[in-house]
Amino acid sequence: MNIQRALAVFAAVMIVVSVALGTFEVHPRGLGEFLAAIDASMLSRVQGFIVRWFGNWTWNALATPLLLRPAWLPPASLALLATGLALTLAGRKTTNRSRRRS
């Protein structure tokens, strides 16, 4: 399986996930609320991991704003990035042109 196909499949799965999260939620929830609904201690474990390995500034500057966004937004963003990367890596096939002059 080539990388373009794998990225395209990943993008398709992420689009389905983001549409499902955006459509089937009774009321729109933030990513932090969604993760807390899955497992109550998940946010504290994620925070401990991020602070331990990347520092407190990473939690405050990157993770906290991400957790306030709607739950469908991160999968949609990953789908957009994977689609762009797949299209970039696809490249164009060149045609064989004759080098003779007529």
Give the total number of structural domains in the chain: 2
Q: Of 91, 90, 94, nearest to 2 (Cα)?
A: 90
Range of the domain at 34: 29-69
pLDDT at 90: 80
Do 5 and 15 lie in a common domain?
yes
Residue 81 lies in a domain: yes
β-bridge mates for residue 30, sequence order = 70
pLDDT at 91: 74
How many helices and strands, by DSSP H and E, does the chain display? 6, 0
Do 62 and 34 lie in a common domain?
yes
Do 76 and 65 lie in a common domain?
no
Do 4 and 36 lie in a common domain?
no
Residue 8 lies in a domain: yes
Grade residue 98 by pLDDT with cuts at 50, 70 and 90: low
Q: Of 40, 26, 29, 98, nearest to 68 (Cα)?
A: 29
Residue 101: pLDDT over 90: no
Do 3 and 19 lie in a common domain?
yes
Do 36 and 64 lie in a common domain?
yes
The predicted-structure confidence for 12-71, as pLDDT tens digits, reads as follows 999 999 999 888 877 888 899 988 988 989 999 999 999 999 999 999 999 999 999 999
Are the C-beta atoms of residues 66 and 74 closer than 8 Å to each other?
Answer: yes
pTM above 0.85, yes or no: no
Do 55 and 42 lie in a common domain?
yes
Residue 56 lies in a domain: yes
The predicted-structure confidence for 73-95, as pLDDT tens digits, reads as follows 999 999 999 999 999 888 756 55
